[in-house]
Amino acid sequence: MMNKLLKKNVFLTILIVFLICALLLLGIEGGLNDWRVLKEFVKEIIIVVGAAIIVSLYFEFKLRNEISSEFNKILEMKEEFGKAGLVKYFSSFKEIDIRSYFREDIKVIDIYVTYGNTFFKDIEDRLELICKNNGSQVTIYLMSKNNPFINGLGNLWGRNNSDYNEEGIKAQIDSTITLLKELFDRLQKNNTLKAKIKLVALKYHPVFYSFHRFDDEIIFVPTKIIENRSFKPMSFLCRKTLHADGIFNKCIAELESIKSEQDSLEIIFEN
Its sign, for the CA torsion 155, 156, 161, 167, is negative
State the pLDDT confidence band at 21, using cuts at 50, 70 and 90.
low
Calpha distance 212→262 (Å, rounded): 21
The amino acid that residue 196 corresponds to is: K
User: Does residue 140 contact residue 266 with C-beta atoms inside 8 Å?
Assistant: no
User: SS3 for 160?
Assistant: coil
The amino acid that residue 41 corresponds to is: F
Q: Cβ contacts of residue 246 below 8 Å, gap of 6+?
A: 83, 84, 85, 238, 240
Residues β-bridged to residue 267: 200
For residue 2, pLDDT beyond 50: no
Distances (CA, A) of 271 to 58, 94, 188, 198: 73, 31, 9, 7
The structure's pTM equals 0.73
Calpha distance 11→228 (Å, rounded): 51
Cβ count near 161 (within 10 Å): 11
Of all residues in the chain, what percent carry a pLDDT higher than 70? Answer: 71
Residues β-bridged to residue 48: none
Give 138-189 pLDDT, tens digit per residue: 999 999 999 999 999 999 888 888 889 999 999 999 999 999 999 999 999 9
User: Does residue 239 contact residue 216 with C-beta atoms inside 8 Å?
Assistant: yes
State the pLDDT confidence band at 229, using cuts at 50, 70 and 90.
confident
Calpha distance 261→103 (Å, rounded): 31
Calpha distance 198→130 (Å, rounded): 13
Calpha distance 151→174 (Å, rounded): 16
For residue 34, pLDDT beyond 60: no
